[in-house]
A = this chain, B = another copy of it.
Amino acid sequence: MNPFIKASAAALEAARQARARIRSGYNKPTAGMAPGMTQCNMISLPRDWAFDFLLYAQRNPKSCPVLDVIEAGGFHTALAQEADLRVDIPRYRVWERGQLVDETTNASALWAKHPDLVTFLIGCSFTFETPLREAGIEIRHITDGCNVPMYRTHQQCRPAGRLQGELVVSMRPIAAERVTDAVIISGRFPAVHGAPVHVGDPARLGIRDIMQPDFGDPVRIEPGEIPVFWACGVTPQAAVMRSGVPFALSHAPGYMFITDVPDSAWQEG
């Protein structure tokens, strides 16, 4: 992150208002909220699993780019100092032994019950949607006001300790003549998944039906558009599922944490 790139007062205010709205019960996907401000994936694990997870992220940086780590018990992040990670995400998922057991809009009680949670904030591809749109590339799920489609692939991540699992990807249909631009522009943001992991052939990733995503909503693919796949910060949830982690807490896919850091702070080169 480039710490010298600061958000404008108006953008900061938009991020604060979005979090306030979420804290008071807003329960929808966050794509398009507080435009230009970085949104994150969240995964919280007991202290005993923290090394395995941080190593998993280190070995799979494209799908699990770590933006911040909050040590055991903490719920404040340098990415948004006034925020409270227990209540500032619209929808949380609760995992036990790798099974999704509950969803909630307020994780305070869970944090109290599991006082040694280490929390990881992971980059999200929403961050490069701003520069893609500025370059005139349509983002279908924003146009249509729905959640981005996400898919579990059959491509395995590098395991770490007790953790293993498959790569999860997000998909955006891109006009064929803009695919190059989308690759180059997103490639400038390696801290938030960077360039696509795959272009054009869902079957090669093990995706059977592009209209039936594993998370999020299906989106139209118009004639002349190519499905483009980016590594997705839901990958840690797939590892939790696959590895039978005794307890974990995460955001719900597409229901992200909104920070005070502008998207542009992650641009490199």
Contact = CB atoms under 8 A, between A and B. Distances in A.
Interface of A: 47, 50-51, 54-55, 58-59, 66, 69, 71, 118, 160-161, 269
A50 to B, nearest CB: 5
Contacts of A58: 54, 58, 66, 69
Nearest to A190: B268
Contacts of A51: 47, 50-51, 54, 118
Which 10 pairs from chain A and chain B are nearest by CB? A51-B51, A50-B51, A54-B54, A55-B69, A269-B269, A58-B66, A71-B161, A51-B54, A54-B55, A58-B69
Given A54-B54, A58-B66, A71-B161, 10 more contacts: A47-B51, A51-B51, A51-B54, A54-B55, A54-B58, A55-B71, A59-B69, A69-B160, A71-B160, A269-B269
Contacts of A55: 54, 69, 71
A266 to B, nearest CB: 14
Contacts of A69: 55, 58-59, 160
Nearest to A159: B71
7 contacts: A47-B51, A51-B54, A54-B55, A54-B58, A55-B71, A58-B69, A71-B160
